[in-house]
């Protein structure tokens, strides 16, 4: 979401301090009774979420990557131009989320809840993540390579003339892959990734406003312990 907002040149605020049980996310309220409290513009289960209060429109408070990105795409000019393009964009975006979830979970093999840290299960996580990088990750990357080559490695992945929300999400998970898995422990798996993906990632990263974001203090470094 930050990538899309930065590319659009739209100001935004990050409200991490509101992630407690009193504010937003039903998953963190602590009990079934607590979830019955309805104090938000629309019920959401967990982050990430966006809260948009336009001057001349309906207030929007929604979660999940796909819902947020589709909304932002429609508001900011990154939506699909046809039903077919939209279906492809949704498929690519959802697959990117599924890939990220698998990648995150392999670093949390004993407890993949929001309470289970990587450090609390490090030995098991190091083995699980190494195995994933040798197996499932390669299958995912080869699939994404086919997607990228269908349109062309320096073109929007959903097949239209302009980038969509799917491009930002696919770029994000590829960037996470390079940051997380290009170390000796993982046999430098990103170096061995398909060339089309590398070309696509480089093409997306070259967008001028994204370059400015990457060189700013708004861009936080990767934690390298869960594709985060």
| pLDDT (tens digit per residue) in 79-114 | 999 999 999 999 999 999 999 999 999 999 999 877
Instruction: Look at residue 20 and tell me whether its pLDDT is greater than 60.
Output: no
Question: What average pLDDT does the segment 110-122 reach?
Answer: 86
In DSSP terms, which residues pair with 25 in a beta bridge?
A: 44
Domains and CATH numbers, the chain: 2-76 (no CATH), 83-214 (1.20.1050.10)
Instruction: Look at residue 182 and tell me whether its pLDDT is greater than 80.
Output: yes
Instruction: Report H helices in 152-194.
Output: 165-181
Instruction: Report H helices in 64-164.
Output: 65-76, 83-105, 122-134, 136-151
Of 195, 157, 213, 182, which Cα lies nearest the Cα of 2?
Answer: 213
Q: Distance between alpha carbon 2 and the CA centroid of its chain, in Å?
A: 10
For the record, the structure tokens of 173 come out as 């998970």
Instruction: Look at residue 18 and tell me whether its pLDDT is greater than 60.
Output: no
């Amino acid at each position: 979401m930050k990538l899309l907002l930065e590319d659009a040149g739209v100001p935004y605020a990050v409200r991490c301090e509101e992630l407690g049980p009193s504010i937003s996310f039903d998953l963190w309220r602590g009990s079934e009774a607590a979830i019955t409290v309805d104090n938000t513009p629309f019920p959401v289960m967990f982050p990430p979420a966006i809260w948009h209060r336009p001057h001349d429109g309906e207030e929007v408070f929604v979660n999940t990557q796909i819902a947020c990105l589709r909304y932002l795409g429609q508001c900011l000019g990154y939506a699909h131009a046809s039903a077919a393009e939209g279906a492809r964009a949704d498929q690519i975006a959802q697959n990117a989320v599924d890939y990220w979830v698998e990648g995150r979970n392999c670093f949390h093999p004993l407890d993949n809840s929001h309470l289970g840290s990587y450090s609390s299960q490090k030995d098991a996580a190091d083995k699980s993540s190494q195995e994933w990088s040798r197996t499932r990750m390669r299958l995912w990357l080869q699939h994404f390579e086919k997607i990228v080559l269908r349109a062309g490695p320096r073109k929007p992945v959903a097949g239209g003339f302009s980038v969509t929300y799917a491009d930002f999400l696919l770029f994000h998970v590829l960037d996470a892959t390079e940051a997380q898995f290009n170390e000796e422990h993982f046999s430098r798996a990103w170096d061995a990734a398909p060339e089309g993906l590398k070309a696509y990632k480089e093409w997306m990263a070259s967008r001028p406003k994204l370059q400015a974001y990457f060189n700013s203090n708004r861009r936080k470094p990767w934690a390298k312990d869960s594709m985060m």
